[in-house]
Structure 1
Amino acid sequence: MSDFSSLGLSDWLIQQCKQMGISKPTQVQENCMPPILEGRDCMGCAKTGSGKTAAFVLPVLQKLSEDPYGIFCLVLTPTRELAYQIAEQFRVLGKPMGLRDCIIVGGMDMITQALELSKKPHVVVATPGRLADHIRSSDTFSIKKIQFLILDEADRLLEQGCTDFTKDLEVILAAVPVKRQTLLFSATLTDTLQELKGIAMNKPFFWESKSEVRTVEELDQRYILTPEKVKDAYLVHLIQKFQDEHDDWSIMIFTNTCKNCQILTMMMQKFNFPTISLHSMMKQKQRFANLAKFKSSVFKILIATDVASRGLDIPTVQVVINHNTPGLPKIYIHRVGRTARAGRHGVSITLVTQYDIHLVHSIEGQIQAKLKEYPVEEKEVLKILTQVNVARRECEIKLESTDFDEKKEINKRKQMILEGKDPDVEAKRKAELEKIRSEKKLFKERIQETIQKKQHGMQKKLMKQKHIQKEKAVKST
């Protein structure tokens, strides 16, 4: 393996890497940095946790130090959290040259962001939607002279949001110069990326990790086969086991919806596990605060939707648990990639129902490895089954009373208006909310009906027992 100096990196950057504990380049850095420093476009495809971010941050900083001006580099990324993480890497590695960066993401004040852009920072890290809004509404800044356009987690950038997301990218691509260096990095190679190779880039250098296995060797990949109704009990049992045996371990639990994420968090807190959540229904400040608390080990358990499955570098995660089996192998790869990072060991456990077995086969085909069964004492799980199911039901009822579904619908509408899309007919919105209200009312009535039936059944049982006792008393006399 080469060292950083043989790749053409300046001494001051090598020193910064040493201060961060980075002594040798990873495969993706070793292969992609020289062509980037030569001025070539580049596509890099490598596993999560392989050092992709530094593979583009270091060459950009070297080029910037030779001719510093703003705005020099634009980085596009699919999520807000990832934007902050990339900006932090630029800030730490670029400290000796007084790097100025700017983060442009949704959920923050647009006027403050516009002022920051007008000051011509060296590096702008943005999500496409918010940056496109600024380009459409402001003329106080320009990205016409950027030298680098970087798409991190490029496959997701090009696929998510379909038409609207594509429109935002078109607005941005129209505002950047034709003569530039374009860098694309991702953990998964998709058809969309292959198409872009020919469209948006000029004879790019292409590098893909040679390993057929898409997950790192240090990751112990397991599964537990469980009926749907017992899944939560298995989850609680696993958390209790890891907490008892390794109280210093950090655990990430992935689930499929914001609502499920919220319910599981409430449920875990009922069992006194140090748990916080991360999902798109939360306010941006709360998302950052929760992520910081988990990173600093104030809380040992983070329950998240796939908003946290990409790119986020949380070095100390020892266990990833998939509460649902991901529908796509690449989602599985990104989820389990939150553990076993940078050569560390990690464990991933996927809870698999009888309906998910075909998904597991698909995942195994993609990663070129077999998932092993995780041994669990079923008797221990069955002991807590009723307690867990009751706790979940209580959390579901509590969440219903907070109008969670209604808030989600209102947030969607607000976002549409902010993005300048058709706000739709007010009546349609009201109809949707009314439908949610009526469903909720029906749901409450059913619960009430069930409770009444149970109470009635218990009363009948008591009366029957009393009647039998009376008959026995009469016979004995």
Structure 2
Amino acid sequence: MGKKSFKELGLSTLIIKTLSMMGIQNPTDIQTNCIPAILNGNDCVGAAKTGSGKTLAFALPIIEKLYEDPFKIFALILTPTRELAYQISDQFSIFSANNVLNLKHITIVGGMDMITQAQQIANSHIVVATPGRLADLIETCMTFNFHCLKFLVLDEADRLLGGQFDGQIKTIFSVLPKTRQNLFFSATITDTLATIKNFTKNETLMYEAPAEIATVEDLEQYYVLCSNYVKDAYLVQTVRSFREKDEKGNIMIFTSTCRNCQILSMMLNDVGFENVALHGMMKQKMRLAALVKFKLNSIKILIATDVASRGLDIPTVQLVINHTLPKECKEYIHRVGRTARAGRKGKAITLVTPNDLPQLLEIEKHINTKLEEYKVNDKEVGIIFTQISVSKSEAHINLDENNFDERRRINLRKKWILEGLDPDEEEAKLLKKKKKNVKKLNTKHKINKRKESELGNKNDQK
């Protein structure tokens, strides 16, 4: 079967002209399969590699149907992160500019005035929201309703339905009409997504892009094996070696926690690699400003937690570095999917310690690809090690002086209160868990040291 055009999929001339202005001439596979079904009134569960055009796969039929019968509130799109919410809104902004429909959309995320947001929702055709903020609005100042809602979209549905957002999702679903089209999209199909079609009332299209590997073919994937105590020096040397070959390509570096993210950002800035950080402890204006600087190429390195791992489309990203391995294989796929998008080339380099090897093997099995070793000059690492260590220590001191962890504690307590939990009890549970983890790490460290000592004694005897 030959490639279909957007016209053959059932889209109007106005939409096709707008797509042409965006430089989009032909639909991708997920768009070809999902758009006709959605226009036909079916529910949809769609999964395809990151960068395959999933956003337009649901946005285009929604806009098409809105042209036919415009009313407010027409579609609700839920997504796990603020950054992804703004990026989805940008897609609708293109179609709202200078068209006869005067399409209105609103982005509902934390960090903004709630009363203003509640007023704006009622006057919008398209609502793009993070679950936490929308649930807060529903519970505290719901001056709007979803009685006429036509579409509900869950973007990055596997994460939204993975347990983290259960309370907020339940609150949101309780005020939605029973009769609606449900669209679920993600880069990865999970058991939860696979069973959704059994609970939807409409006929459901289940589309999963055929692929032998879970990451794109244009992505070169590498690992760097190093000890944990020199990992930061290896990170800097990896960035240096890449910069020697590519002065202009953008780099995204992923790490595990907000504190680590801020520490790495300060450390890299201190050693001459200008960058911006992006994590959940930053105010919304700062997060948006960091992302804009990176997208506009005024800053070419972004250090981020997994708030930036999903859906963000930044064409100039040439290299993704995993400073820490993600806990789940699918998060690795999402992270490295920030590069090699839409047919472009890209590299992903993961820093791996000996303790990470089982997780690396699991990832390789999941993506059906063996990572190659990325050669880093060990001698150069040794030269810069002391400088990096000092710089990182100074960053830790700086954060402590600015009460970084205290701000996190306050934010956590606010979150617990909003969830109806006792903040003192939750804080005690968290402290107990931390002590348990520290005890485990200390025990593991002692066992490793004993093994190293026994191995050394055996070698001496030989």
Q: 2:116: which partner in 1?
A: 112
> What residue is the counterpart of 2:138 in the other structure?
135
The answer for the alignment partner of 1:11 in structure 2 is 13
Instruction: Identify the residue that residue 474 of structure 1 maps to in structure 2.
Output: none
Q: Trace 1:43-122 onto structure 2 (pairs within 5 A).
A: 43-95=45-97, 96=99, 97-119=101-123, 121-122=124-125
Aligned partner of 2:194 in structure 1 is: 194
Please give the alpha-carbon distance, in whole angstroms, between the structure 2 residues aligned to 1:336 and 1:428. 34
1:422 matched residue in structure 2: 421
Q: What residue is the counterpart of 2:39 in the other structure?
A: 37
CA contact (8 A) 1:4 1:14 kept: yes
How far off its partner does 1:420 sit?
A: 5.1
Q: Please state how far the C-alpha of 1:315 moved relative to its aligned partner.
A: 1.5
Cα distance between partner residues in 1 of 2:38 and 2:179:
15
Give 1:128-207 correspondences, 5 Å limit: 128-161=131-164, 165-207=165-207
Matched letter for residue 421 of structure 1: G
Q: What residue is the counterpart of 1:444 in the other structure?
A: none
CA distance in 1 between partners of 2:336 and 2:281 (Å): 23
Q: 1:384 to 1:111 in 2, by over 3 A?
A: same
Shift of 1:411: 1.3
Change (3 A) 1:329 1:425: closer
Conserved in 2, the CA contact under 8 Å of 1:17 and 1:93? no
Q: Which residue of 2 aligns with 1:307?
A: 307
Task: Quote the Cα distance in structure 2 between the aligned partners of 1:386 and 1:172.
Answer: 52
Paired residues of 2:233 and 2:388 also in contact (CA < 8 A):
yes
Q: Report deviation, 1:73.
A: 0.6
Shift, 1:174, TM fit: 2.0
CA contact (8 A) 1:9 1:62 kept: yes
After superposition, residues 226-245 of structure 1 pair within 5 angstroms as 226-245=226-245
TM-score by length of 2: 0.89
Partner of 1:262: 262
Tell me the TM-score normalized by structure 1. 0.87
Q: For residue 125 of structure 2, what is the amino acid of its counterpart? A: H
Cα distance in 2 for residues equivalent to 1:94 and 1:30:
23
Tell me the residue number matched to 2:412: 412
**Computing the radius of gyration over CA atoms, which structure comes out larger, 1 or 2?**
1
Partner of 1:457: none
| Residue 139 of structure 1: how far off its partner (Å) | 4.3
Determine the structure 2 residue equivalent to 1:275.
Answer: 275
Q: What are the Cα deviations for residues 3-50 of structure 1, in whole angstroms up to 9, with x where unaligned?
A: 211111111111111111111111111111110111100000111111
Using the TM superposition, give the Cα deviation of residue 201 of structure 1 relative to its aligned residue in structure 2, in angstroms.
4.9
How many residue pairs match? The answer is 430
When residues 92 and 306 of structure 1 are mapped into structure 2, their CA distance, relative to the original with a 3 A threshold, is: same
Q: CA deviation at 1:425?
A: 4.3
SS in 1 for 2:160: helix
| Structure 1: distance between partners of 2:326 and 2:423 | 33
Q: Distance in 2 between matches of 1:367 and 1:104?
A: 34
Instruction: Tell me how far 1:307 sits from its aligned partner.
Output: 0.7
Which of 110-119 and 216-225 deviates more?
A: 110-119
Q: CA 1:402–1:291 in 2, change beyond 3 Å: closer, same or farther?
A: same
Are the aligned partners of 1:31 and 1:207 in contact in 2 as well (CA < 8 Å)?
Answer: yes
- Residue 221 (str. 1) matches residue 221 (str. 2): yes
Amino acid corresponding to residue 88 of structure 1 in structure 2: D
C-alpha contact 1:242 1:249 (8 A) present in aligned 2: no
CA distance in 2, matches of 1:93, 1:251: 30
Give the conservation status (yes or no) of the 8 Å contact 1:61–1:94.
no
Which deviates more, 209-218 or 199-208?
Answer: 199-208
| Structure 1 residues not aligned, in runs of 5+ | 440-477
Deviation at 1:427, TM superposition (A): 12
Q: Which moved more, 1:225-234 or 1:240-249?
A: 240-249
C-alpha RMSD of the superposition = 2.0
Deviations 1:32-86 (A, max 9, x none): 1110111100000111111000000000000000001110111011111111111
> Equivalents in 2 of 1:321, 1:42: separation in Å?
33
Separation of aligned partners in 2, 1:32 and 1:428: 45
| Contact 1:182/1:201 (<8 A) preserved | no
Question: What letter is aligned with 2:4?
Answer: S
Structure 1's 201 and 188: CA in aligned 2 closer, same or farther, altered over 3 A? farther
Aligned equivalents of 2:168, 2:260: Cα separation in 1: 30
Q: How many Å separate the matches in 1 of 2:84 and 2:162?
A: 17
**What 5-or-longer segments of structure 2 have no aligned partner?**
439-462
1:106, distance to aligned residue in structure 2 (A): 1.4
| Cα distance between partner residues in 2 of 1:5 and 1:426 | 58
Displacement of 1:177: 1.4
Contact in 1 for aligned 2:118/2:142 (Cα 8 Å):
no
1:113-145 superposed Cα distances (whole Å, 9 cap, x missing partner)? 0111232x1101111122122222334211011
Question: Helix, strand or coil: the match of 1:297?
Answer: coil
Amino acid at match of 1:9: L
Q: Please tell me whether the aligned partners of residues 223 and 373 of structure 2 are also in contact (alpha carbons under 8 angstroms).
A: yes
Query: Could you report, residue by residue, the CA deviation over 1:339-388 in whole angstroms, capped at 9, with x for unpaired residues?
Result: 00111100000001101111111111111111111122222222212221
Contact 2:119 2:144 in 1 (8 A): no
Q: Which residue of 2 aligns with 1:2?
A: 4
Q: Percent identity?
A: 52
- The within-5 A match list for 1:287-366 is 287-366=287-366
Quickly say closer, same or farther: Cα 1:139–1:275, change in 2 above 3 A. Answer: closer
Shift of 1:296: 0.5
CA distance in 1, matches of 2:92, 2:278: 24
Question: Contact (CA 8 Å) 1:86, 1:125: kept in 2 or not?
Answer: yes
CA distance in structure 1 between the aligned counterparts of 2:142 and 2:222, rounded to whole angstroms: 53
For the residues of structure 1 that align with 2:18 and 2:335, how far apart are their CA atoms?
A: 30
**Superposed CA offset, 1:404-430 (max 9, x none):** 11111011112333x25235349968x
**Which one is further off, 236-245 or 31-40?**
236-245
